[in-house]
Chain A
């Protein structure tokens, strides 16, 4: 049995428990139903599930080298751009990688971006959520890639991920540090980073609109160079020596 399915089962079990347990107020496990804790465990389990899935997908040293190199580029691009608030070329590169190399590689590149850059920018409780958010950007980009959509869709996709990334990071902040957890507090927490998220979205749109097609072409060329092989066994009589 695939180990990632075990993680998936655990995620489902926690999700069901979250809804079922409050119906039994006398159950002592309710004390452990802390939203910050539950959100953290869910994000971590998702990351571990993708790690196990990558283990099944990546068979050769080439895939490993490629994903690690894309993750490094993306992580490095995050560092010099910290001077411009919100504008992050790494989201753009994660989306392009997912678009070309598929969902699992896309998730790994996104997760690497957060994990590796935080060795230099500072780890914190936000690391798993950043890994989760960028990873999902890579996964969804892979499904966009299957439809072979045009440039305008890439731009819309980039804008959507600029805001979605903000929503995921704010949801973490809300679940862990804001009390009480109501719709109202959620809305206020989400609006606090609207300014940064708008910059992030605009940056993504410009990057993807101007350079998305070019970058995807570069990555696609490398994918083709990587996946070479014999189309069929050579036939015919061997040459006389």
Chain B
């Protein structure tokens, strides 16, 4: 089974405050969606690479990125096929579709697809780092502290905790059914689905019985009583964490104001736009890049302080 789950490797990135990681992913996501200029998007992608290296998740990260290659290819092919705009025609199809017009492939459309593929890569890379370095429990704790409804978060947390148990159950049920002569991968689609159902139905009734146990366990711990909740784990906020958050908010504010000023725009059609970056824009871009790369040194600083 392919699985990209969290492993505690104890690096500076793993130890980082979950709020900081969530603020960072929001920042990267919003910036990636706001900017169109491929140069900006490339910078965004490059800024995630040092974090992969620092978190020592290179292998898992690479396997996630391999899956994203398929999506990137899809983005490029669709953009090349659907866009009739652009002045440099590379290939013109020899047939004509009514209403649609004559389909053609232009250089601009392909480059536009590549630009969007870079955007996709940057977003997926950032999410891969989040999945690989943030423990689900810490994510839930951060969600509760952000005043998201407690019961809904508790449902998610319980569900995540029960996944390994149910995977074990599936293994047991499959063994039992196979020892009774069930052949899982035989026959057509209908036959296969019938085979799966002999696993799903026992799993369902077995797990629903377990629901009572969970509810009893919660009741016996006085769930729902008491006005103020207490927590077993706590998320400490040190001065460095607040500094990281401040940097990230600055990053977001900077990105949005640049977008409002009309920077980071780029037009692929009808011909490729030039990359004439003015003095002000260049200055703001370098500050943005600096803010993006600040995450790593601050994470190391926090680890250093924690160790002392």
Known A55-B149, A206-B189; contact A72-B64, beta-carbon cutoff 8 A: no
Q: Is B89 an interface residue (CB 8 A)?
A: no
Complex partner residue of A64 from B29, B127, B158, CB under 8 angstroms = B158
Contact B193 A72 (CB under 8 A): no
Q: Is B167 an interface residue (CB 8 A)?
A: yes
CA of A199 to CA of B133, assembled, Å: 34
CA of A61 to CA of B160, assembled, Å: 17
Q: Is B232 an interface residue (CB 8 A)?
A: no
Residue in chain B with minimal CB distance to A81: B196
Q: Is B283 an interface residue (CB 8 A)?
A: no
CA of A69 to CA of B162, assembled, Å: 8
Q: Is A154 an interface residue (CB 8 A)?
A: no
Contact A184 B211 (CB under 8 A): no
Complex partner residue of B131 from A52, A54, A122, A192, CB under 8 angstroms = A122
Contact B149 A122 (CB under 8 A): no
Contact A115 B156 (CB under 8 A): yes
Residues of B within 8 A of A188 (CB): 78, 81-82
Q: Is B88 an interface residue (CB 8 A)?
A: no
Q: Is B124 an interface residue (CB 8 A)?
A: yes
CA of A221 to CA of B259, assembled, Å: 56
Residues of B within 8 A of A36 (CB): 33
Complex partner residue of A34 from B34, B67, B117, CB under 8 angstroms = B34
Residues of A within 8 A of B193 (CB): 87, 203, 206-207, 210
Residues of B within 8 A of A218 (CB): 201, 204-205, 208
Residue in chain A with minimal CB distance to B209: A222
Interface stretch of the complex, out of A140-148, A159-167, A173-181, A229-237: A173-181
Residues of A within 8 A of B196 (CB): 81, 89
Q: Is B95 an interface residue (CB 8 A)?
A: no
Chain B interface size band reads: 35 or more
Q: Is A152 an interface residue (CB 8 A)?
A: no
CA of A65 to CA of B214, assembled, Å: 6
Q: Is A66 an interface residue (CB 8 A)?
A: yes
Contact B155 A120 (CB under 8 A): no
Contact B3 A120 (CB under 8 A): yes
Residue in chain A with minimal CB distance to B99: A184
Complex partner residue of A52 from B85, B149, B203, B259, CB under 8 angstroms = B149
Q: Is B100 an interface residue (CB 8 A)?
A: yes
Residues of A within 8 A of B29 (CB): 40, 125
Residue in chain B with minimal CB distance to A57: B151
Shortest beta-carbon distance from A178 to chain B in Å: 6
CA of A79 to CA of B210, assembled, Å: 21
Shortest beta-carbon distance from B268 to chain A in Å: 7
Q: Which of A102-139 contact B (CB under 8 A)?
A: 108, 112, 115-116, 118-125
Select the residue from A34, A48, A61, A116 with max chain B CB neighbours within 10 A: A61
Residues of B within 8 A of A219 (CB): 204, 208
Contact A37 B82 (CB under 8 A): no
Q: Is B106 an interface residue (CB 8 A)?
A: no
Q: Is A6 an interface residue (CB 8 A)?
A: no
Q: Is A201 an interface residue (CB 8 A)?
A: no
Contact B152 A61 (CB under 8 A): no
Q: Is B138 an interface residue (CB 8 A)?
A: no
Q: Is A214 an interface residue (CB 8 A)?
A: yes
CA of A64 to CA of B119, assembled, Å: 38
CA of A118 to CA of B4, assembled, Å: 9
Q: Is B226 an interface residue (CB 8 A)?
A: no
Residues of A within 8 A of B123 (CB): 124-125
Q: Is B74 an interface residue (CB 8 A)?
A: yes
Q: Is A45 an interface residue (CB 8 A)?
A: no
- 25 A-B pairs with CB atoms under 8 Å apart are A31-B259, A37-B34, A51-B148, A54-B152, A55-B151, A55-B152, A58-B151, A62-B211, A62-B215, A64-B151, A65-B158, A66-B208, A68-B162, A69-B210, A72-B163, A80-B1, A176-B119, A179-B83, A179-B112, A179-B116, A192-B78, A211-B200, A218-B205, A219-B204, A222-B208
The 10 closest A-B pairs by CB, nearest first: A61-B218, A68-B158, A55-B149, A65-B214, A51-B152, A185-B82, A65-B215, A72-B162, A71-B159, A68-B155
A32-B256, A211-B200 known; 17 new pairs, CB 8 Å cut-off, are: A29-B260, A31-B259, A34-B33, A40-B33, A54-B149, A65-B218, A66-B208, A73-B207, A79-B167, A93-B200, A176-B119, A178-B78, A179-B116, A203-B189, A203-B193, A210-B194, A211-B201
